[in-house]
C-alpha cells in the first residue's frame, strides 16, 4: 500500500515536471512558428496577407481639408496689415481607393515595381459644406510671379496682363477650384505658351506619383516594403547631401517585429522628402495592441537645434539665415513655385513665422502626425498625416498687386489631415488570425507551465511527507 502511494506520488511529480517542461519548450517553439508564419505572410508577393493589403488599402483613407479664409484682403494689399484668417472645414475626400497598378516582380533583385494612381471622391456627409463653397484666398498665380520671373523687364510686361485681367493679391475661389484647378484669367491672357491652369493639387485625378520600386522581403524580411528607388532614383536632387536620400517605406507597412526603440522611416512624394517617427505610446486599437509612433518636433528644427537639418535649409528669407524653425521650403520640387510646408497652424514653429497671421491656434492633439503600428506584423492600422501648405509672398514694386507690401508674408492656404483606421470587420479578422492566436498560444504556455509546476511541487511535497511518516 505504501509503495502504491509512493509510486503514485512520484508519477504525479514526474507528470507535473513533464507538463511544465512541455510548456517551457512550447515557448521557443511557438515563438519560432509564429516568427516563421509572420515572415512568410509579410512578403510582398501574390498570395500573402501583406500583399493583399498592400495592393489596395484595407481601410478607407480620407483626406480632410481646412481652408484659411482671409477676412481682410484689402487691408493687407493696401496697408500691408496682418492677415486675419478664419479656418473653415473639414471638407472631406476619399483617396487611395484605387489599387496599385503596373505591378512587376523582379526575382533577381527581390523587388516589386508599381505605380499608385491618384483619385479623390468628395464625401458630403463628412464635410461642413459643398465643393462650391467660396473662399477668399491668395491669388496663386500673382503671388508666384516674382519668384518664377525675377527679371524686372519680365515683371513689367506681366504686370500689364495682371492689371488687364483685374487680378489682385487675393481672389475668391470655390473649394473645387482651389484644390483641383481652375483657368487663371491672368495666365490665360498672356500671349505665350505657358500653363494656364492653377490649383494647389493640380493635376491630381487620373495621375500617378511615379514609379516606385520596393523590396519584397523575399530574401531579407527586414527590408520588406522599403523603397529602393522612386522614379528610378535613390536620391532626390532637390536636396543636397544625405537629405535627399529616399529612406523607409510609404508608411502603410513596415518590416515586422518592431521594437519600441526602433525609428520608423517613411517617404512622402507630396512633400518631396523622407521623414522619421519615434515611439510615443502603447495603446489599444479595437482590441489590438499597437505602438503609436509620432513625428518629433526635431523634424522641422533649425540647423542650430538639429545639425542634421542643415541641408534642408535652402533659403534665407523666412528662416532668417537658417535660425528659425518650423517650415520647409519645397519650391525646388514644385517647379520653383514658392511653396512651404509646416505642421498645421505652424505647430512647433518659431513665433516669428506666424507673427503676421492672426487667427491661428496650434494644438498638439489636433495638428500632430502619428502612425499606429501593430508591432508583430508591422502593419499600420491607423494613421493621421497632417500638414499645412503655405505660399511665400514678397513685395514686388513692378507688380501693382504686390507693390504696397512692406513685409514678406508666409500665407497659410490650407491644412490637411490624411487619415485611416482599420474597420471593425477587418479588426475582428486581424484579432482572430493574428493577435488572438498569439495570445492563445501564450495562455496555453503559461497554463501548462503553471499547472505542471504546481503538480510537481505538490506531489513532491506529498511524497516527502509520506516517506517521513513511514520512517517514523
Q: 396 by DSSP, 3-state: which?
A: coil
SS3 50: helix
Partners of 30 in the β-ladder = none
The arithmetic mean of pLDDT across residues 406-419, rounded, is 96
Q: Which residues pair with 421 in a beta bridge?
A: 382
Q: Please state, for a pLDDT cut of 70, what percent of the chain lies above it.
A: 85
Report how many helices (DSSP H) and strands (DSSP E) the chain contains, helices first. 10, 20
Confidence of residue 32 (pLDDT cuts 50, 70, 90): low
Pair 313, 340: CB distance under 8 Å: no
Calpha distance 159→228 (Å, rounded): 46
Mean pLDDT of 159-184: 97
- Per-residue pLDDT at 6: 55
The CA–CA distances, whole Å, from 25 to 219, 376, 445 equal 29, 21, 9
Do 111 and 94 meet the contact criterion of CB atoms below 8 Å apart?
no
Cβ(88)–Cβ(66) below 8 Å? yes
DSSP conformation letters of 335-373: TT--EEEESGGGTT--GGGGTTEES----HHHH--EEEE
Question: Is residue 82 scored above 50 in pLDDT?
Answer: yes
Q: pLDDT-derived band of residue 469, with 50, 70 and 90 as boundaries?
A: low
Model pLDDT, residue 169 = 97
Residue-level pLDDT at 448? 44
- For the stretch 185-224, pLDDT in tens is 999 999 988 899 999 999 998 899 899 999 999 999 999 9
Distance CA 257, CA 264 (A): 12
Cβ–Cβ under 8 Å, residues 330 and 341? yes
Compute the average pLDDT of residues 38-47. 88
Confidence grade of residue 52 (pLDDT, cut at 50, 70, 90): confident
Region 255-281 average pLDDT? 92
Least confident of 80-84, 89-93, 438-442: 438-442
C-alpha–C-alpha distance, residues 373 and 342, integer Å: 24
| Residue 419, strand partner residues | 62, 384
pTM: 0.86
DSSP at 245? B
More confident residue, 388 or 237: 388
Amino acid at each position: 500500500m505504501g509503495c502504491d502511494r509512493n509510486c503514485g506520488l512520484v508519477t504525479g511529480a514526474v507528470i507535473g515536471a513533464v507538463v511544465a517542461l512541455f510548456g517551457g519548450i512550447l515557448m521557443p517553439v511557438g515563438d519560432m512558428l509564429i516568427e516563421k508564419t509572420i515572415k512568410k505572410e509579410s512578403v510582398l508577393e501574390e498570395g500573402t496577407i501583406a500583399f493583399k493589403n498592400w495592393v489596395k488599402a484595407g481601410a478607407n483613407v480620407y483626406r480632410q481639408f481646412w481652408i484659411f479664409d482671409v477676412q481682410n484682403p484689402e487691408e493687407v494689399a493696401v496697408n500691408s496689415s496682418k492677415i486675419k484668417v478664419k479656418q473653415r472645414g473639414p471638407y472631406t475626400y476619399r483617396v487611395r481607393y484605387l489599387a496599385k497598378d503596373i505591378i512587376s516582380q523582379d526575382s533577381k533583385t527581390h523587388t516589386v515595381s508599381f505605380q499608385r494612381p491618384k483619385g479623390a471622391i468628395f464625401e458630403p456627409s463628412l464635410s461642413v459644406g459643398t465643393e462650391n463653397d467660396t473662399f477668399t484666398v491668395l491669388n496663386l498665380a500673382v503671388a508666384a510671379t516674382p519668384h518664377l520671373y525675377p527679371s524686372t523687364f519680365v515683371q513689367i510686361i506681366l504686370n500689364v496682363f495682371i492689371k488687364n485681367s483685374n487680378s489682385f493679391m487675393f481672389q475668391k475661389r470655390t473649394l473645387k477650384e482651389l484644390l483641383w484647378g481652375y483657368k487663371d484669367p491672368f495666365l490665360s491672357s498672356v500671349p505665350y505658351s505657358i500653363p494656364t491652369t492653377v490649383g494647389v493639387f493640380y493635376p491630381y485625378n487620373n495621375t500617378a506619383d511615379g514609379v516606385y520600386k520596393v523590396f519584397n522581403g523575399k530574401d531579407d524580411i527586414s527590408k520588406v516594403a522599403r523603397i529602393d528607388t522612386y522614379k528610378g532614383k535613390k536620391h532626390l536632387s532637390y536636396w543636397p547631401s544625405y537629405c535627399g536620400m529616399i529612406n523607409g517605406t510609404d508608411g502603410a507597412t513596415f518590416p515586422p517585429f518592431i521594437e519600441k526603440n526602433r525609428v520608423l522611416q517613411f517617404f512622402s512624394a507630396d512633400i518631396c522628402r523622407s521623414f522619421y517617427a519615434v515611439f510615443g505610446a502603447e495603446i489599444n486599437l479595437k482590441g489590438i495592441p499597437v505602438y503609436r509612433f509620432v513625428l518629433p518636433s526635431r523634424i522641422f528644427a533649425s540647423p542650430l537645434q538639429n545639425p542634421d537639418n542643415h541641408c534642408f535649409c535652402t533659403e534665407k528669407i523666412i528662416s532668417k539665415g537658417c535660425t528659425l524653425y518650423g517650415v520647409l521650403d519645397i519650391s525646388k520640387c514644385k517647379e520653383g513655385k514658392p511653396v512651404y510646408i509646416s505642421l498645421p497652424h505652424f505647430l512647433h514653429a518659431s513665433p516669428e513665422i506666424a507673427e503676421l497671421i492672426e487667427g491661428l491656434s496650434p494644438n498638439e492633439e489636433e495638428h500632430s502626425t502619428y502612425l499606429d503600428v501593430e508591432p508583430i506584423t508591422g502593419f499600420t492600422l491607423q494613421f493621421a498625416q497632417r500638414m499645412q501648405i503655405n505660399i511665400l509672398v514678397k513685395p514686388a514694386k513692378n507688380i501693382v498687386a504686390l507693390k504696397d507690401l512692406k513685409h514678406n508674408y508666409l500665407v497659410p492656404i490650407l491644412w490637411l489631415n490624411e487619415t485611416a483606421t482599420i474597420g471593425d470587420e477587418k479588426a475582428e479578422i486581424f484579432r482572430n488570425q493574428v493577435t488572438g492566436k498569439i495570445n492563445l498560444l501564450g495562455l496555453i504556455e503559461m497554463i501548462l507551465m503553471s499547472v505542471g509546476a504546481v503538480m510537481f511541487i505538490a506531489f513532491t511535497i506529498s511524497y516527502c511527507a509520506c516517506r517521513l511518516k513511514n520512517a517514523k
